């Protein structure tokens, strides 16, 4: 069920489906909650409540002008969203820079996080910012031209193209430029020790063909830093769309080992 929740001065749109133990799915850049469209239903069928929001300023979620939509702010809003939904504890599954928000949630409120699954994400200040430098530098007066370029670069499947249509046109381009400019890798440069010290069960899942955050450069180091297993997946960067079956299998095994029901 798609709903909208007002959290302080921002509006968060999300899909909330199923019952059972809640799983919070966080996308990254330049994604929307559509990233999880092939993963959510199997998790619901397995008996979980699946909550997939658009991060604030992404997709259908809104932030007032001038409000920073960096990952530190996203962590604050996601914890507030849990309060709005009366959820005391969740498993967090995050992708790309959404993993930065997830890590920050752990350092702030570890008691709220039952388990942590990080997919094709960030390590310290390695956020693959070089891949979005052209978007950060894009002339806002030409924002409508951004989507066709993004589609050519990333639209390697119908699913990816469908996800990216949220940023079509002038308004969509401006939202994407704003989101790119607010990303700040300094926010996770020194938090991995605190994430590991929280003692939360963690797994790391990674596409073997990730062209932005490679499994050897980033995935392996992240898993080692968190003393977590590394599960290699037969996909590129957007694994929840590339190989959803393997993502679901990896998540269900992780949840089974934690005895989360």
pLDDT tens-digit series, residues 179-234: 999 999 999 999 999 999 999 999 999 999 999 999 999 999 999 999 999 999 99
Residue 129 has pLDDT above 80, yes or no: yes
Q: What is the pTM of this model?
A: 0.97
- How do the domains of the chain map onto residue ranges? 2-127+187-256
Q: Which pLDDT score, from 0 to 100, does residue 25 have?
A: 98
Residue 1 has pLDDT above 90, yes or no: no
H or E stretch including 115?
Answer: strand 113-121
- Residue % of the chain over a pLDDT of 70: 100
Under a CB-based contact definition with an 8 Å cutoff, are residues 91 and 114 in contact?
yes
Distance, C-alpha 149 to centroid of its chain: 22
- Extract the tokens encoding 229: 């297993």
Residue 75 has pLDDT above 90, yes or no: yes
**Residue showing tokens 């990333």:** 154
Residue 8 has pLDDT above 90, yes or no: no
CA distance 134 to 250: 34
Residue 237 has pLDDT above 80, yes or no: yes
- Extract the tokens encoding 61: 């979620």
Q: Which pLDDT score, from 0 to 100, does residue 231 have?
A: 98
Residue 19 banded pLDDT, cuts 50, 70, 90: very high
Helix-strand-coil percent breakdown of the chain, rounded to 5?
Answer: 50, 20, 30
H or E stretch including 12?
Answer: strand 10-17
Q: Which pLDDT score, from 0 to 100, does residue 51 have?
A: 98
Residue 156 has pLDDT above 90, yes or no: no
CA 260-80-83 angle, to 5 degrees, is 55
Q: Which pLDDT score, from 0 to 100, does residue 86 have?
A: 97
CATH 3.20.20.10 holds for 2-127+187-256: no
């Amino acid at each position: 069920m798609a709903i909208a929740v007002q959290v302080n001065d921002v509006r968060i749109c999300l899909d909330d489906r199923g019952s059972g133990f809640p799983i919070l799915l966080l996308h990254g850049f330049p994604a929307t909650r559509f990233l999880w469209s092939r993963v959510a239903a199997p998790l619901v069928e397995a008996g979980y409540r699946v909550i997939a929001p658009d991060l604030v300023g992404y997709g259908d979620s809104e932030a007032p002008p001038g409000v920073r939509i960096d990952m530190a702010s996203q962590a604050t809003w996601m914890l507030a969203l849990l309060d709005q939904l009366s959820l005391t504890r969740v498993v967090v599954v995050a992708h790309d820079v959404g993993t930065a928000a997830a890590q920050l949630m752990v350092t702030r409120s570890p008691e709220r996080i039952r388990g942590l699954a990080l997919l094709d994400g960030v390590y310290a200040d390695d956020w693959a910012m070089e891949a979005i430098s052209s978007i950060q530098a894009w002339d806002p007066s030409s924002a409508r031209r951004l989507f066709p370029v993004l589609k050519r670069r990333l639209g390697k499947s119908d699913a990816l193209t469908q996800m990216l249509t949220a940023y079509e046109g002038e308004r969509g381009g401006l939202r994407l430029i704003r989101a790119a400019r607010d990303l700040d890798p300094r926010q996770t440069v020194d938090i991995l020790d605190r994430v590991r010290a929280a003692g939360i069960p963690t797994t790391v899942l990674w596409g073997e063909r990730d062209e932005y955050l490679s499994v050897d450069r980033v995935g392996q180091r992240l898993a080692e830093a968190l003393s977590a297993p590394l599960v290699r997946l037969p996909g590129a960067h957007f694994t929840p769309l590339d190989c959803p079956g393997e993502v679901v299998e990896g998540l269900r095994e992780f949840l089974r080992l934690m005895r989360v029901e």
